[in-house]
Amino acid sequence: MENTQPKYEYHLLTWGGFYNEEYLKIHNIQSGDYYFDTSEERQAFINRLYSFESQLGTNGLVMTLTEGYCCRTRTVIHRVIEWDGKTYYTQYDMGVNYPMDAAQYHLEYKWYPGFNDYPLGEDFDYDNNPVQIIREWITGAFTF
């Protein structure tokens, strides 16, 4: 029988200038999500990143750390709008393990039609052709 118990993991999301083309040729490590079985494994990888950062003389390494049972669950905000009798669906992937309150804030204040969400295309005049939001929802978010 397959084990259906969730696995506790240690997550690292890393990005920034450390990953520009010039530095990438030297360290050959991609930006993005990394998962580890223990905090020690994650810390060893972080130490390796810091070592490269020091050798390169850059401070462009950015990271966030999370841990738990939901580290691979992607948080996605969704929206359906209506304009001129037609409905349009859009979504925005916030990444893994993104908290519910932050996703709600983003949905309410940072992602609306005509600003970081262009369901009718970027050239559509959202200011003079108001669209009606039919439904919005968030999937995959957790409270901490």
Residue 5 has a pLDDT of 80
Q: Residue 34 is encoded by which pair of tokens?
A: 């990394």
Contact of 126 with 114, CB cutoff 8 Å: yes
Residue 144 has a pLDDT of 56
> What is the rounded CA–CA span in Å between residue 52 and residue 27?
7
pLDDT in tens, 33-67: 999 999 999 999 999 999 999 999 888 999 999 99
pLDDT in tens, 86-120: 999 999 999 888 889 999 999 999 999 999 999 99
> What is the rounded CA–CA span in Å between residue 53 and residue 35?
21
